[in-house]
Structure 1
Amino acid sequence: MDWGQLRTIVWLRGRLIRNQWSRSGGFNAVLTMIAVWVGFVIAAAGGLGGVLAGVFALAKAEPPVMLIVWDLIVAAFLLFWMIGLVTELQRSETIDIGRMMHLPVSLRDIFLVNYLASHLTLSIILFLPAMLGLCLGLILGGRWSMVLMFPLVLGVVFMVTAWTYCLRGWLAALMVNKRRRRVIVAGITFGFILLCQLPNLLGNLMHDRQRHRPRTTKSAPADKQTATRTAEGDRPSLSPVVLAAHKYVPFLWVGNGAMSLAAGSVWPAVLGAAGAFGIGGLGLRRAHKTTIGFYWGQAAIKKSAPKHKVPKVAAARRGLFERSLPGIPDEAMALASVFFRSLMRAPEVKMAMATNFLMLLFFGGMVVLFVPPGLGLLISRVGWLPAAPVNLLFSAVLAGLLGLLYKLSLVPLGELLQRRERRILEVVTKEVE
Structure 2
Amino acid sequence: MWHFCVRSFHRFNAVARSSLPTGNENVWDAMYKRGIPRTLDEMSLMLGERVDSPPNSRLLKIAIVGVPNCGKSTLINSLVGRKVCSVSSKVHTTEVSARAVHNVESTQMVFLDTPGLVTPQEVSKHSLNRSLLREAEISLHEADVMAVIHDVSNKYTCNSLHPRVLRLLALYPTTPSILILNKVDLVKHKQRLLDITRIITEGIVGGNRSHVEKKKDVPLSKEKLLRKTKKTLQSVETSTEDKLKKKGNTLVTGQIGLPRDISQISEQDVMEGKVRLTEQEINAFIENRTGWPLFEEVFMVSALSSLGVDDLQDFFYHKAYEAPWIFSSQMLTDQNPQDIALMTVREKFLDAFKNEIPYNLKFTVEHWDLSEEEILYITIQIGCKRQGLARFIIGSGGKSVIPIAQDAEQDLRNTFCNEVKLRLNVVYDPTLKRK
Q: TM-score scaled to structure 1, two decimals? A: 0.19
Greater strand content? 2
Greater helix content? 1
Larger Rg: 1
